[in-house]
Amino acid sequence: MSNHNAILAIAKKTIETEAEAIHQLSSLLNDDFSKAVECIRTSKGRVIISGIGKSALIASKIVATLNSTGTPSIFMHAADAIHGDLGTIQENDVVICISKSGNTAEIKMLVPLIKRGKNKLIGMTGNTESFLALQSDYVLNTYVEKEACPNNLAPTTSTTAQLVMGDALAICLLELKGFSSKDFAKYHPGGALGKKLYLTVGDLAINNEVPMVDITSDVKSVIVEISEKMLGATAVMENNKVVGIVTDGDIRRMLNKFDTIYGLTAKDIMSSTPKTIEVNVLAIKALELMQAKGISQLLAVEGDNYKGIVHLHNLIKEGIL
């Protein structure tokens, strides 16, 4: 077998091993899982998640997922907890401890301290007979038959199982709380994802020039307006209402159609059915409309009032495209 084929074979085996473990994970769900979800959902405090080693890294990621989906959470490293960080846990908080074996020295030291504070304890472990499991109010079973590591040592399949169990918790809580895309946007105001959820056409158009000409304007005035406002188009107005649009493409078509531009007006070269979009519509909808129509700008309106132009370049600049 060539090195190339050997590498691919190892990768495929790793993925298949972990996939099988995750498939089996669903069969380990029981009443403790649903009770743990309800415990978190009805709690007046936060979720404190702790672990040691690779489990600590997974705990940190689960915290991030819970926070972003509306469940306030804090990461507390198990080693730091027994050296001063135990004060992170407040009266109404629910604590989740993650440990594959459930018998590490740090966990054995931490668990009695948590129990002393009378906080609800959820243990996530692959060993339901472990110290952590026996001391927990609820146990999330993340047992895996073997690690993907050929020596069955490096945490691979086990940490994947922990991560998936954490995702299952987060999504259950999200759905039970009726957490919507609008809620999600509040927690993700930055980046392309957040912008897709809250940025509107008006938010973009307000930063642009507002090109417009009268329906009787001569062609030179139309060209100057398009060039100066640098949006590739201008609205055509009559009695303060939009009646058409002239784009760069219309100018090119005009030059092909007419031998002279003398005497031509905006009315002669405009499209009388401009594509418009309301300013309160999400910018992502503007992108979808542009793509569907094969155009690069839309006239932004508020009812019958023309507010400006939203251009494809605006969407690119904001990272929505």
Instruction: Specify the pLDDT at position 152.
Output: 87
DSSP secondary structure letter of residue 130: S
Please report the sign of the dihedral spanned by the C-alpha atoms of residue 58, residue 60, residue 63, residue 67.
negative
In order of 95, 290, 296, the CA distances from 114 in angstroms are: 8, 56, 59
pLDDT-based confidence at 127, cuts 50/70/90? Answer: very high
pLDDT-based confidence at 258, cuts 50/70/90? Answer: confident
193 has a pLDDT exceeding 70 = no
Q: Is the pTM of this model over 0.75?
A: no
Instruction: Specify the pLDDT at position 186.
Output: 67
As a whole number of angstroms, the longest Cα–Cα distance in the chain is 91
Q: Which of 171, 166, 200 is nearest to 184 (CA)?
A: 171
* pLDDT tens figures, 279-314: 999 999 999 999 999 999 999 999 999 999 999 999
- Domain residue ranges of the chain, discontinuous segments joined by +: 3-178, 201-317
The residue to which tokens 């109404």 are assigned:
92
Asked whether 41 and 183 are in contact (CB, 8 A), the reply is no
Instruction: Specify the pLDDT at position 1.
Output: 55
Asked whether 88 and 45 are in contact (CB, 8 A), the reply is no
CATH code of the domain occupying 3-178? 3.40.50.10490
pLDDT, mean of residues 125-143: 97
The strand pair at 212-214 and 276-278 is best described as: unpaired
Q: Which residue has the higher pLDDT, 62 or 69?
A: 62
Instruction: Specify the pLDDT at position 238.
Output: 94
Q: Which residue has the higher pLDDT, 308 or 321?
A: 308
Instruction: Specify the pLDDT at position 189.
Output: 62
71 SS3 class: coil
Instruction: Specify the pLDDT at position 187.
Output: 66
Residues 6+ apart with CB under 8 A from 150: none
In angstroms, rounded to a whole number, what is the distance separating the alpha carbons of residues 289 and 244? Answer: 18
260 has a pLDDT exceeding 90 = no
pLDDT, mean of residues 101-105: 95
DSSP secondary structure letter of residue 87: G
Residues 6+ apart with CB under 8 A from 36: 122, 138, 140, 169
Q: Which residue has the higher pLDDT, 188 or 170?
A: 170
* pLDDT tens figures, 197-246: 678 999 999 999 999 999 999 999 999 999 999 999 999 999 999 999 99
268 is in an annotated binding site: yes
Q: Could you say which architecture CATH assigns to the domain 201-317?
A: Roll (3.10)
DSSP secondary structure letter of residue 98: E
Beta strands in the chain (DSSP E): 47-51, 73-77, 94-99, 120-125, 138-141, 212-214, 233-238, 241-247, 276-278, 297-302, 305-311
Other beta carbons within 10 Å of 57: 16
Mean pLDDT for the chain overall: 92
Instruction: Specify the pLDDT at position 185.
Output: 65
In angstroms, rounded to a whole number, what is the distance separating the alpha carbons of residues 106 and 226? Answer: 69
313 is in an annotated binding site: no
In angstroms, rounded to a whole number, what is the distance separating the alpha carbons of residues 321 and 318? Answer: 8
Asked whether 137 and 121 are in contact (CB, 8 A), the reply is yes
Asked whether 69 and 193 are in contact (CB, 8 A), the reply is no
pLDDT, mean of residues 55-68: 95
* pLDDT tens figures, 27-49: 999 999 999 999 999 999 999 99
23 is in an annotated binding site: no
Residues 6+ apart with CB under 8 A from 240: none
* pLDDT tens figures, 9-21: 999 999 999 999 9
* pLDDT tens figures, 232-254: 999 999 999 999 999 999 999 99
pLDDT, mean of residues 48-75: 94
Please report the sign of the dihedral spanned by the C-alpha atoms of residue 158, residue 160, residue 162, residue 165.
negative
Instruction: Specify the pLDDT at position 192.
Output: 63
Radius of gyration for the chain, computed over Cα atoms and rounded to the nearest angstrom? 30
Asked whether 279 and 202 are in contact (CB, 8 A), the reply is yes
